[in-house]
Amino acid sequence: MSIEKFVLNETSYFGFGAREVLPEEIKNRGYKKVLVVTDKSLFEIGLTKKVTEKLDEAGIEYTVFSDVKPNPTVTNVKDGLRVCREFGADVIVAVGGGSSIDTAKGISIVMTNPDREDIVSLNGPSNTVNKGMPLIALPTTHGTAAEVTINYVITDEEREVKMVCVDPHDIPLVAIVDTELMSTLPKSIASSTGMDALTHAIEGYITKAHNTMSDMFHMRAIELIFENLPAAVNEKNQDAIDKMGLAQYIAGMGFSNVGLGIVHSMAHQLGAVYDTPHGLANAILLPTVMRFNGQDPATAQRFREILVRIGRPDAAHLNDQDVINTFVWKISELSKAVGITQTIKDVGAKEEDFGMLADKAMEDPCKPGNPREVSREDFIELYRQAM
């Protein structure tokens, strides 16, 4: 048996109102000055205040950096670094979705690895020397799992490329999955981030590097998402939201260790070039790419295993093509059930850009994990099908 490595974060809290533990965690660890990283929309609607008021009550000194874009950029990280240094923070608290947490991870890493201040050198599998500055993450979406992964994504705005930075030194010290923070999500964000979590779980389950432990996480995440996403999005059912918070987290525990595939390779380019929200890009592309990947017999068998667990026990006896068709249909129906009906044309993609998008996707760090080999021409055709 080959040696396998599995990296998990140190401490996590779950549940409605879990942010109550934040001041205690900060004080018990001896931190004095907090940089709160969040995005402008969360700050303006008062969601960030639900966290900072806990710091106020405990008399903990903090400053807020809220200049984070939905697809965070190199400039965002550099601006946050400047605020962090000027304030003299000794811990970062990230409040938000993947954008806020990813920005916080970039700040955290460069604070202890100043030789990476250009940010662009963090792209890909990283060889940073030092563990990042202490980071506590409070996700507000049930999708990205950035609070438990070793990955973060930053857009290099000059090259219009999403950098996928993979570094065990960036993993948050503490994750606080407070589902009360998730319960006020607008429907569009709740649906797209939920489908992002499903993409993580499915791609992680079929990736080349999958193993027994990651399979356990990903399969349970897939079950929970199919069972709970519609109620979480359409009814704001708190039990369903709680379960989505758990589902996205355990999917993150899996894919952080075994990687993803070309849904992400393609989605990253839509985000970098057209500023498409990441979860929406994944949701649009997932059915098309899964039909492509299913042509690999081993992947079709993985689809069969998933179908049996999500209410289609008859899949055990279907031929491969029927398995692929049924699985893609199930994904598409879930997307429609939560209001996602767009194509990549609806988010600004143009056919004349497909060659450029394919070139970028060929270089994406998620591509090697895909179960089926893919060429530049394959990428162009997949973008065309997704129109």
CA-to-CA separations, 189 to 98, 157, 195, 247, 316, in angstroms, rounded? 12, 23, 10, 16, 35
- Over residues 53-83, the pLDDT tens digits come to 999 999 999 999 999 988 899 999 999 999 9
Whether 45 maps to a domain, the answer reads yes
Phi-psi region of 59 (alpha: psi -120 to 50; beta: other; left: phi over 0): left
* β-strands 161-166, 124-125 pairing: parallel
Count of all residues that appear for the chain in the document? 387
113 vs 126 pLDDT, higher one: 113
* One domain for residues 269 and 349: yes
Instruction: Compute the C-alpha angle 112/98/180, nearest 5°.
Output: 115
Phi, psi of 144, rounded to the nearest 5 degrees: -80, -30
Q: Are 305 and 281 in contact (CB under 8 A)?
A: no
Would you say residue 262 lies in a domain?
yes
For residue 1, pLDDT over 70 is answered with no
Report d(CA 246, CA 249) in Å as an integer. 5
User: Is the pLDDT higher at 126 or at 333?
Assistant: 333
Confidence of residue 7 (pLDDT cuts 50, 70, 90): confident
My answer on whether 165 and 268 are in the same domain is: no
The one-letter amino acid code at 156 reads D
Domain boundary among 138, 154, 182: 182
Helix (H) or strand (E) holding 153: strand 151-156
149 and 213 assigned to the same domain: no
pLDDT of residue 161: 85
Alpha-helix runs per DSSP H in 165-208: 179-182, 187-206
- Rounded percentage of the chain residues whose pLDDT exceeds 70: 100
What is the average pLDDT across 32-44? 94
pTM: 0.94
Question: Where is pLDDT greater, at 143 or 94?
Answer: 94
pLDDT higher than threshold 90 for residue 127: no
pLDDT (mean) for 197-206: 98
Q: Could you read off the pLDDT of 234-244 as tens digits, one per residue?
A: 999 999 999 99
Residue 189 is which amino acid?
I
Query: Of 182, 202, 223, which residue is a domain's last?
Result: 182
Phi, psi at 153, each rounded to 5°: -125, 125
Q: Is there a single domain that holds both residue 153 and residue 283?
A: no
Tell me the pLDDT band of 184, cut-offs 50, 70 and 90.
confident
Confidence of residue 300 (pLDDT cuts 50, 70, 90): very high
